[in-house]
Amino acid sequence: MRRPTVVLFSYTGDVERVCAAAMRSCYSNFPAFHVYTIRDRGDLSEAPLTDERVQELIQRARRLGHLSVLEHGLFTFDLENISRACTHQLVRHRIASFSQQSQRHVRIDEETDWYAIPPSLDVDSQRKFEERMRTVASWYSEDSKRGRKIEDARFYLPNATKTNIVVSMNPRELLHVYELRCGAEAQWEIRAVAWAMLACSKLVAPSIFSKIAHKASNAYLEEKEEELGRILSKLRPHFEKAIPGKNMEIPLATLNLGLDVQAFVYKR
């Protein structure tokens, strides 16, 4: 079965130092690059940008709402085997870049699990759902086999159709997306995908993504963030030591996301 999968495969490796240098440069006589490299220069006219200082500057930026400094960096995710319903929701986020598998050029393979099944369906409803999907697939293949372009046959396809999409966002927009999409009120699929993306983001940039703000106090969010913290604190030493080129899986089972989504971070 093709499971929904999130892969963070490209990211600004020193994103937290870059954002912290940008933050500090707003309040210093020194420009950002000077602040960024000060540790190497041994210059005492400005405090060195230690890991603690990076963390403190980022926390201050988040606390003050000085969020433009968190726009200096990019995270690119590969999202695989998620439904078109989910990507419709995702692409509403405008401060992002997307590239989605084309239904004009890529045929669905009717012999595979080409559609997502809502986990809320009981056995009987699932059987009926799958039966209906087989009917849809038969319309799709009948039309496309008659030599018509699949750009027309695709009109039969439902929101459940699986797709792949690449998405790039800066850390500020990611924080916004997580605030909206990780909460209990978000829909089950985009919520699980957002948690998987958050897990990847936290592994790479723990200070920027330290805590997701939410309008109301939210036990759901807090409980899951605590559990994710436990998962990542075990994994982080292995990730730091991992050899570049390795794809590290973040085990998400104990987050109980209601969807069997996989998350990976590519070690650069």
Ligand X SMILES: Cc1cc2nc3c(=O)[nH]c(=O)nc-3n(C[C@H](O)[C@H](O)[C@H](O)COP(=O)(O)OP(=O)(O)OC[C@H]3O[C@@H](n4cnc5c(N)ncnc54)[C@H](O)[C@@H]3O)c2cc1C
Check binding of 88 to ligand X (CB under 6 A): no
- Interface with ligand X by CB under 6 A: which range of 18-26, 46-54, 152-160, 172-180? 172-180
Identify which of residues 55 and 68 has a Cβ nearer to ligand X in the complex. Answer: 68
Q: Which is catalytic among the residues 181, 191, 230, 268?
A: 181
- Pairing label, strands 75-83, 162-169: antiparallel
Per-residue tokens: 100: 């989605």
- Pairing label, strands 262-266, 247-250: antiparallel
Q: How many helices (H) and strands (E) does the chain have?
A: 9, 6
Check binding of 196 to ligand X (CB under 6 A): no
Check binding of 165 to ligand X (CB under 6 A): no
Identify which of residues 106 and 213 has a Cβ nearer to ligand X in the complex. Answer: 213
Identify which of residues 92 and 127 has a Cβ nearer to ligand X in the complex. Answer: 92
- Interface with ligand X by CB under 6 A: which range of 6-14, 44-52, 92-100, 156-164? 92-100
* H helix or E strand, kind and range, residue 236: helix 219-241
Check binding of 175 to ligand X (CB under 6 A): no
Residue 55: which residues within 8 A CB-CB, separation 6 or more? 16, 207
DSSP letters spanning 96-163: EEEEE--TTTS---TTS--B---TT--HHHHHHHHHHHHHHHHHHHHHHHTT--HHHHGGG--TTBEE
Instruction: State the minimum distance, in angstroms, from the CB of residue 186 to ligand X.
Output: 5
In the residue annotation, 181 being an active-site residue is answered as yes
Active-site residue list: 181
List interacting residues with ligand X (CB under 6 A): 92-95, 173, 176, 180, 185-186
